[in-house]
Structure 1
Amino acid sequence: MPVEWWIAVVLTTIVAVSQLGSGVIQALGGNPFTGIGGSASGDGMWGLTLRGLYGLDIFSNFSGFGGAQYFRPG
């Protein structure tokens, strides 16, 4: 992704910490999408945030490996 280095570092850190946290929660037998937000609406917001971070990770990997060149018209 064509972004400044510090943006890439911040996004990478956020994604890595969230994935590590999700892995720990799952290893302890929990569900990383429920019980974290403190309420039903909090869980919903947390679930959207976590899914968004996973989407960002997938998109950045796709972009970093040159996948965007296959979707350019022409």
Structure 2
Amino acid sequence: MTVKGSLYPTRLAVIAMGAGLPLSLILSLAFPSFWIIGVVWILGLLALILLDGFLATPLDKMEPEIKAARQLFHRYAG
């Protein structure tokens, strides 16, 4: 799908990302085995920002784009 326009995160998303980054850094310094929580936090917020962008975009501004192979694999049995 292609969308005409730009995707900007909301203020809440920017604040959540900004607040989560130092908290995850402090947590990973205090407990090194919990470093993955920071990665999950960042990836989770990015997924929510993309989901918000797709849900907020009107359907008339989306253009479906299907790419298919020009030639399909054909095995010669002989």
Q: TM-score, normalised by structure 1?
A: 0.44
More helix by share: 1
TM-score (norm 2): 0.43
User: Highest Rg: 1 or 2?
Assistant: 2
More strand by share: 2
